[in-house]
A = this chain, B = another copy of it.
Amino acid sequence: MDFKLLAGQYRDELLNNILPFWIENSQDREFGGYFTCLDREGKVYDTDKFIWLQGRQVWLFSMMYNRVEKRKEWLDCAIQGAEFLKRYGHDGNLNWYFSLTREGKPLVQPYNIFSYTFATMAFAQLSIATGSEEYATIAKKTFDNIISKQDNPKGIWNKSYPGTRELKGFSLPMILCNLALEIEHLVDKSLIDKTIETCLDEVLNHFYREDLGLILENVTTDGQFSDSFEGRVINPGHSLEAMWFIMDLGVKLGREDIIQKAVEIALKTIEFGWDKQYGGIFYFMDVKGYPTQQLEWDQKLWWVHVESMITMLKGYQLTGSQESLAWFEKLHNYTWDRFKDKEFGEWFGYLDRRGDVLLNLKGGKWKGCFHVPRALYQCWNILDKL
């Protein structure tokens, strides 16, 4: 592979296709914030605003401004989204709603902890770009809220009956692995160190099962396997994404053992999750091979594939693993071939098992300005250094 040439390909796609797409099509010039429901050509088909995606887009443009170039249109885009979020995104106590109307009226209650994590990322990253104390405080206080909700993230909206089958989910410790690095400039070192230590222990010793070589999405609160739909489910993309977060922590801590472990888990996961018949990575699988409860189990999702590209490339960069490089190449070919729209801007998000487009959209309730540009940025930077 010609790494220099590839680096250019990733950079160009990021700077000349993806970012202009969102700058031009997603900004709500009337009410602020971003439209994310954009059709194939970038036209708005629904105006609801989802806090996950609002926060992620603020983060993305702030990050680009902080790390790539001081472009005013990037900062302006981030700030207008953050102002909308600040005003309408929460209940006054930094409990972040799940979604709002175009005008900013709350639609769905603050039941989802990831609305909080992406708000934290957004304001923490933007506070670096602007030096704003106010943004820094929002990030810090929201992070405190997350920590206090860690044991029952859904709060009063939790439908599980207490005591029968208490499970904990992989998502929160996984996201905290990443979030810790995003807010270390704002929070006491001791809290960051403790958060990182706990999350690493959770991910590598509770959710990862040595016997299977795989990460479970849910385990019992004392870290055991639960032979139930929730307990058996594997989300290969999730595991793979987490492994590059873990590699980043390994680099920060100077822990080569952790990096090696992450590479090893990533390779086992992609072997398990790769569709040998049609290519691509399955969305959900049952660890025992039983039918999943998720009807969308065999679909090929954009974020799964672009996150896995980062993981494989970073694994190669940090350890020289040839297997990781080979997987990166395979993923690169599949992903650029299937997800990139050759006719219009941005990438498709949802393919069927065979790799054909399932939903003709560039953004929606869950796909916004985040995974594609973050992955292009990450891969460009790694490739540039190889």
Q: Which residues on A are within 8 Å of B, measured CB to CB?
A: 37, 39, 45-46, 48, 97-98, 101, 105-109, 111, 156-157, 159-161, 164-165, 227-229, 288, 290-293, 295-299, 350, 352-353, 358-361, 364-365
Contact = CB atoms under 8 A, between A and B. Distances in A.
Given A39-B290, A106-B164, A291-B361, 5 more contacts: A39-B291, A45-B288, A46-B229, A105-B164, A295-B358
Nearest to A290: B45
6 contacts: A39-B291, A46-B228, A98-B159, A106-B161, A107-B160, A293-B364
B364 A165 contact: no
Given A353-B352, A358-B298, A365-B229, A45 B291 contact: yes
A46 B230 CA distance: 11
A359 B292 contact: yes
> This chain: how many copies in the complex?
2
A156 B358 CA distance: 35
Contacts of A106: 161, 164
A350 B361 CA distance: 25
A98 B158 CA distance: 13
A350 B295 contact: yes
Contact of A295 (B111, B288, B296): B296
Contacts of A293: 364-365
Contacts of A45: 288, 290-291
Given A295-B296, A295-B359, A352-B353, A290 B107 contact: no
A83 to B, nearest CB: 21
A353 B356 CA distance: 12
A237 to B, nearest CB: 14
B160 A290 contact: no
Nearest to A161: B106
A109 B159 CA distance: 5
Nearest to A365: B293
Nearest to A364: B291
A107 B165 contact: yes
A360 B291 contact: yes
A300 to B, nearest CB: 11
A98 B39 CA distance: 37
Residue with the greatest number of chain B CB neighbours at <10 A, chosen from A157, A291, A350: A291
For the complex of A and B, list the 6 residue pairs with the smallest distance between their C-beta atoms, beginning with the closest: A295-B296, A106-B161, A291-B359, A291-B361, A45-B290, A105-B164
Contacts of A227: 46
A86 to B, nearest CB: 18
Given A46-B228, A46-B290, A359-B291, A159 B101 contact: no
A127 to B, nearest CB: 28
A108 B160 contact: yes
A161 B365 contact: no
Contacts of A298: 352, 358
A288 to B, nearest CB: 8
A297 B361 CA distance: 14
A350 to B, nearest CB: 6
Contacts of A156: 156
Nearest to A288: B45
A69 to B, nearest CB: 33
A361 B103 CA distance: 45
Contact of A159 (B111, B291, B299, B360): B111
